[in-house]
């Protein structure tokens, strides 16, 4: 028996017990995937039409504008802008933009179609197509995988209070990606096709809603079995989940008036916790009833926390050949016993722990400066392709690097690395450093060379058009990834070279960088 009030009560308890980690997970998922669009909308991650004073969250074409343009081009006689009242058009566009993400597959494809219909089928269309392809690949191998990781976090945190935020990446750690990605892709395709029937789309949305949870419990389960279990478990329960969603409608409306802050600090983790409890209620009934396929729900440690004696016995009986793990995996306090998970990573996937607080020599600093600069350039190119279907003519310098990323990365290594044991403080410092560095660099280029490197005048929550809230948040997250993972791993690879080779590489990169700066200054004067 699924009792809505009891589920919501358990969801609130779950969030309170692990509050900071819960909101951090939902925030990361919002930033890295197409989930929780209301949260990201008001931080400035995609365009929204109809905001006061003509302010768009970003100056790019909004999702609703793209959809209207495509419809009007396919139906030349039906000009939506003329036939609908302005209020209805603006209100409908605002709802579409707030409830969707610019990086979603559907709107990326619409942008490509719109570009093909408006532009000559040359390079611009190829870029639009490339952006659509990147959006599809990102949805398949990033968004869907991280969605499963989010479900896993909330599933474990019910019983294990010290569940780590990194749990959202657990499928990458297991090297178990392709099967979950395939099942989720099939779910997306089926859902899209059913959406054309409208009513069938709503029904199938709830019928397929447990597939990510099933994959989080058993990533090796087949497509047919995952779909079957979700259908069976949701039989006679679709209306109950619909009512649960409906009960959060007031919270969602209230969140709009707080510019998404309420979603970030309370609603998103609250909803995620309630739905995790909903899954376990159905799962428990299904397993106890010994219904068909129940043996595929094989992770008993999600319901039963093993005692210390049980762990000791399990360790004694554990066969390392079935899955290599480090010693800390056995007895991490109040954390899921990873070495007992049904799916084990291959031997090649087990690496030594990342030493984020390691020391770096001066050659490593030079290498990381250029490595992070190139990484930032690639990131900006990919983001521009996915959002707008264009490649910027020149982001800053002629070469494939963005020095602002490298400068901030080195500054973080110098001044923030000592606070690595406090991730919240690290995030705040990253945010502040990027905001100051971004503002100063933009001001220097503007006042010294008359070159406006970044123009955020039409961005929501911007400061003199030089920085904006969404960019600072995105870089703060990227800075955390750089400090905790990328810098140590890249340095390990760099140190495999002899010192002479490292010195030659750093000298060559420095000369190229200086030459690029000089060339840029001379061409802009």
Task: Please give the average per-residue pLDDT across 104-122, as a whole number.
Answer: 63
Q: How far apart are CA 172 and CA 474, in angstroms?
A: 21
The residues that bridge with 463 in the sheet, in sequence order, are 467
Q: Which of 23-32, 243-252, 315-324, 483-492 is the least confident region?
A: 315-324
pLDDT tier, 382 (very low <50, low <70, confident <90, very high otherwise): confident
Q: How far apart are CA 204 and CA 207, in angstroms?
A: 5
Q: What's the pLDDT tens digit per position in 423-475?
A: 889 999 999 988 888 888 888 877 766 666 666 776 667 787 788 887 888 88
The predicted model scores a pTM of 0.84
> Which 3 state secondary structure label does DSSP give 287?
helix
Task: Please give the average per-residue pLDDT across 475-494, as a whole number.
Answer: 92
506: tokens are: 């750093």
Looking at 450-498, list the stretches that DSSP marks H as alpha helix, in order from N- to C-terminal side.
469-481, 487-494
Element (H, E) at 463: strand 462-463
**What is the pLDDT at residue 105?**
65
Looking at 196-322, list the stretches that DSSP marks H as alpha helix, in order from N- to C-terminal side.
199-207, 211-217, 223-234, 238-247, 249-257, 261-262, 268-288, 308-317
Buried b (16+ CB within 10 A) or exposed e, 330-354: beeeebbbbbbbebbbeeeeeeeee
pLDDT tier, 343 (very low <50, low <70, confident <90, very high otherwise): confident
List, in order, residues 6 or more apart from 213 with CB less than 8 Å away: 151, 155, 276, 279, 283
**297 pLDDT exceeds 90?**
yes
The residues that bridge with 462 in the sheet, in sequence order, are 468
**What is the pLDDT at residue 30?**
84
Stronger pLDDT, 188 or 256, i.e. the higher one? 188
Q: What's the pLDDT tens digit per position in 46-61?
A: 555 544 443 433 445 6
The separation between CA 261 and the C-alpha centre of its own chain, rounded to angstroms, equals 18
Q: Contact 283/234 with Cβ under 8 angstroms?
A: no
The residues that bridge with 468 in the sheet, in sequence order, are 462
136: tokens are: 């599809």
Could you give phi then psi for residue 74, rounded to 5 degrees? -80, -25
**Local structure of residue 263 (DSSP, 8 states):** I
Q: How far apart are CA 356 and CA 32, in angstroms?
A: 22
**497 pLDDT exceeds 80?**
yes
Q: How far apart are CA 332 and CA 160, in angstroms?
A: 10
**Local structure of residue 462 (DSSP, 8 states):** E
Buried b (16+ CB within 10 A) or exposed e, 413-446: beebbeeeeebeebbebbbebbbebbbebbeebb
Q: What's the pLDDT tens digit per position in 389-402?
A: 666 655 567 788 88
| CA-wise closest residue to 408 among 477, 461, 352, 355 | 477
Q: Is 75 left (phi over 0), alpha (psi -120 to 50) or beta?
A: beta
Token pair 């995790």 in the structure block, residue? 276
Tally: H helices and E strands in the chain: 25, 2
Q: Contact 143/105 with Cβ under 8 angstroms?
A: no
**98 pLDDT exceeds 70?**
no
Q: How far apart are the first and last CA of the chain?
A: 74
Q: How far apart are CA 80 and CA 65, in angstroms?
A: 11
**What is the pLDDT at residue 326?**
44
**119 pLDDT exceeds 60?**
no
């Amino acid at each position: 028996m699924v009792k809505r009030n009891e589920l919501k009560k358990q969801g609130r308890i779950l969030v309170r017990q692990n509050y900071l980690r819960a909101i951090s997970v939902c925030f990361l998922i919002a930033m890295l995937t197409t989930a929780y669009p209301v949260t990201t909308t008001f931080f400035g991650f995609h365009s929204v039409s109809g905001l006061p004073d003509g302010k768009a969250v970003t100056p790019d074409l909004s999702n609703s504008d793209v959809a209207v343009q495509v419809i009007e081009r396919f139906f030349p006689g039906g000009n939506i802008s003329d036939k609908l009242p302005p209020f209805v058009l603006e209100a409908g566009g605002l709802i579409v933009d707030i409830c969707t993400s610019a990086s979603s597959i559907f709107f990326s494809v619409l942008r490509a179609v719109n570009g093909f219909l408006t532009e000559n089928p040359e390079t611009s269309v190829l870029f639009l197509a490339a952006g659509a392809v990147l959006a599809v690949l990102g949805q398949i191998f990033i968004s869907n995988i991280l969605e499963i990781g989010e479900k896993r976090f909330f599933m474990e945190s019910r019983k294990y209070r010290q569940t780590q935020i990194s749990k959202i990446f657990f499928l990458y750690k297991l090297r178990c990606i392709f099967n979950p990605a395939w099942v989720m892709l099939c779910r997306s395709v089926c859902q899209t096709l059913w959406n054309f029937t409208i009513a069938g789309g709503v029904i199938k949305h709830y019928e397929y809603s447990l597939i990510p949870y099933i994959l989080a419990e058993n990533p090796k389960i087949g497509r047919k079995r995952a779909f079957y279990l979700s259908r069976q478990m949701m039989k006679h329960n679709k209306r109950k989940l619909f009512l649960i969603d409906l009960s959060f409608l007031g919270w969602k409306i209230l969140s709009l008036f707080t510019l998404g802050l309420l979603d970030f600090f309370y609603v998103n983790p609250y909803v995620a916790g309630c739905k995790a409890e909903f899954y376990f209620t159905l799962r428990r009934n299904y397993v106890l009833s010994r219904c068909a396929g129940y043996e595929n729900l094989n992770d008993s440690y999600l319901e039963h926390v093993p005692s210390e004696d049980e762990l000791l016995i399990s360790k004694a009986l554990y066969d390392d050949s079935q899955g290599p793990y480090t010693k800390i995996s056995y007895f991490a306090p109040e954390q899921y016993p990873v070495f007992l998970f049904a799916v084990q990573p291959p031997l090649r996937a087990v690496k030594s722990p990342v030493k984020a607080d390691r020391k770096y020599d001066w050659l490593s600093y030079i290498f990381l400066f250029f490595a992070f600069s190139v990484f930032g350039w690639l990131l900006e190119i990919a983001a521009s392709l996915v959002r707008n279907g264009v490649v910027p003519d020149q982001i800053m310098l002629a070469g494939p690097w963005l020095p602002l990323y490298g400068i901030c990365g080195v500054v973080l290594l110098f001044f923030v690395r000592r606070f690595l044991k406090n991730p919240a403080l690290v995030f705040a410092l990253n945010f502040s450093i990027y905001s100051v560095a971004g503002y100063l660099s933009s001001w220097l280029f503007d006042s010294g060379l008359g070159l406006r490197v970044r123009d955020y005048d039409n961005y929501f929550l911007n400061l003199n058009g030089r920085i904006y809230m969404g960019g600072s948040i995105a870089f703060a997250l990227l800075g955390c990834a750089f400090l905790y993972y990328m810098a140590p791993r890249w340095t390990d690879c760099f140190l495999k070279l002899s010192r002479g080779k490292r010195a030659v590489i750093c000298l060559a990169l420095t000369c190229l960088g200086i030459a690029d700066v000089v060339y840029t200054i001379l061409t802009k004067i």
